[in-house]
Structure 1
Amino acid sequence: MAATVDREIVISRVINAPPELVFEAFTEVRHLSQWWGPEGFTTTTRAFEFRVGGEWDFVLHGPDGTDYQEWISWTEIVPPERIALLHGESRGDPNAFESVLTFAPEGAATRFEMRTVFLTKEQRDEAVEKYHAIEAARQTMGNLAAYVTEILRKEVEG
């Protein structure tokens, strides 16, 4: 781990929902399209297959009208504990980075952690400085937390 510390971004948050529900929010495109991305962004999915070796091909639409081509390939899936993925602009992107998402029970809630490792320190620094990756990830986690909390609220009211 120490060998990658200068290439990593690690963000975690406790989400007031069980791990199974938080995990499910990543497994179905009908969920992802409701919360994925930082505040003000929307997502258009072109292809989605949640399985090891499967891909999620999508466009992230920024609030300023900028479109960001995105591609994720799932490299490990351990329900409801862990998802590992490769994330780039498209299949074969030489600058694609790896992320590991973990979903750990914490009482009735979930400690969700996203550990992203870039190929170089420079790529990590660019992601932080140019694309505001840390704040964007925090906002995305906030959207996820609000989304699953709303699902639970509707179930209780049901």
Structure 2
Amino acid sequence: MMNSNLQFDFLVNKEKNTITVRREFLASQQLVWDCYTKQELLDRWFAPKPLTTKTKSMNFSEGGHWHYAMVEPNGTEYWGWTSYTEIKPIDYYKALDAFCDAEGNINTQFPQAKWLVSFTTKEENAVVETVVTYNSLQDLEAVIQMGMKDGLTSTLERLDELLLTLK
């Protein structure tokens, strides 16, 4: 059951072409960091319901990448490529995010983005702040139209459910 007292902010800044998401979790900063940075945990939550996640390859290190798919119940796959540019455990990481195909070829028809994902502690809970920066207002508006807020809300609720099983 979702705890409505947990912080959840979804802020769009059309001057800076950013989306900032702040989300509080009922878990320690270390555990939430692990859920964002370990393949076996990411595969259990990183997709909105009813999709699932599968990893083709992952190397969580500076200069490394995560190549994964979000998979619909009917088997349709949506591939993504995350390149890790800077990592400071367990405080933050920076990454470049793109759509790609099953072979890892970047699809330049879709918006690419820079991600800064920061982890802090608030009493016993962890707070994750994700700032996603797009190259243009057009790209920002495209991902909002694609349903990023609902998708992210569902995805983060799935992380809540996973954290309950890990504590």
Shared fold by TM > 0.5?
Answer: yes
Paired residues of 2:81 and 2:106 also in contact (CA < 8 A): no
1:62 counterpart = 2:77: no
1:73 counterpart = 2:80: no
CA-atom RMSD in angstroms = 1.7
**Letter of the structure 2 residue corresponding to residue 55 of structure 1:** H
| Cα deviation code 1:22-56 (max 9, x no counterpart) | 00112211101001111111112111100011011
Number of residue-to-residue matches in the alignment? 148
Task: Give the CA deviation at 1:66.
Answer: 3.2
What does residue 155 of structure 1 align with?
A: none
Task: Give the CA deviation at 1:113.
Answer: 1.4
What does residue 87 of structure 1 align with?
A: 97
After TM superposition, the score normalised by the length of structure 2 is 0.82
What does residue 21 of structure 2 align with?
A: 11
**Letter of the structure 2 residue corresponding to residue 107 of structure 1:** E
Runs of 4+ in 1 over 3 A off after TM superposition: 63-66, 90-95
Paired residues of 1:11 and 1:138 also in contact (CA < 8 A): no
Paired residues of 1:9 and 1:134 also in contact (CA < 8 A): no
1:143 counterpart = 2:165: no
Distance in structure 2 (CA, Å) of the matches to 1:63 and 1:120: 33
After TM superposition, the score normalised by the length of structure 1 is 0.86
Q: Which has the higher contact order (CA 8 A, sep 6+)?
A: 1
Match of 2:113 among 81, 92, 97: 97
The farther-off stretch of 72-81 and 89-98 is: 89-98
| Equivalent residues in 2 for 1:105-120, closer than 5 Å | 105-120=121-136
Distance in structure 1 (CA, Å) of the matches to 2:54 and 2:143: 22
Q: Structure 2: state its 5+ residue gaps.
A: 1-11
